[in-house]
Amino acid sequence: MTDRPSITTTRLRLRPLRELDAEAFRRMTDEPSIIAAVDFLRAPFPLADAIGLIRGRGDGGDCFWGVWRKDDETLVGTVGTHLREGAELEIGYWFSSSARGQGVAGEAVGAVVQAVKGACPDRRLYAECRPQNTSSLRLLESLGFRADGMDGARAGRKKLTLL
């Protein structure tokens, strides 16, 4: 997954994060609202953890896409894609508070979903979301994800599958 080409949208530039992005990734992720929402992140978010996420499991099945505005060098978000057992691919994301409420997440996640569908047409895409996270639920539903009645692998989350 990490050998994917860059993606450009109307307002954004996306590419797989590299180790040289680790400090920017750490800074962007180290927001209390992000740490609280993502169960596998520690506070404060250490550089070693940022590097570990960028490296993934070492099998090429994980990719954290960095999201930048076209006119700025500040990392504003990430979209993770993770190959799972069988024919599934999980997608997840988080964005800095400076990017929220502007459609940046929808634009970025939508672009990655389209790229992954093109590269992995036989994979079923899904996401996990807490039911009370209405912003994230609306974003996923706007992209065609629907609750499939299954609990997510993480406590308190529901699974949504791309139809």
For the domain 7-124, what is the CATH superfamily, name and number?
Answer: Gcn5-related N-acetyltransferase (GNAT) (3.40.630.30)
Q: What is the pLDDT of residue 86?
A: 85
Q: What is the mean pLDDT of the chain?
A: 94
pLDDT number for residue 148: 86
Phi, psi of 110 (to 5 degrees): -60, -40
Instruction: Please give the pLDDT value at position 60.
Output: 84
Distance CA 1, CA 16 (A): 8
Which two tokens mark 69? 């505005």
Distance of alpha carbon 22 from alpha carbon 10, whole angstroms:
25
* pLDDT per position as a tens digit, 112-135: 999 999 999 999 999 999 999 999
User: Does this model's pTM top 0.85?
Assistant: yes
CA distance 61 to 53: 12
The answer for residues whose C-beta is within 8 angstroms of residue 115's C-beta and 6 or more apart is 4, 7
pLDDT over 80 at 1, yes or no: no
How many angstroms separate the CA atoms of 67 and 29, rounded?
Answer: 12
Residues 6+ apart with CB under 8 A from 149: none
**136-160 confidence digits (pLDDT tens):** 999 999 999 999 899 999 989 999 9
pLDDT tens readout for residues 11-52: 999 999 999 999 999 999 999 999 999 989 999 999 999 999
Which tens digit of pLDDT belongs to each residue from 68-96? 999 999 999 999 999 998 899 999 999 99
- Give the integer Cα–Cα distance in Å for 24 and 158: 30
For residue 2, the model assigns a pLDDT of: 54
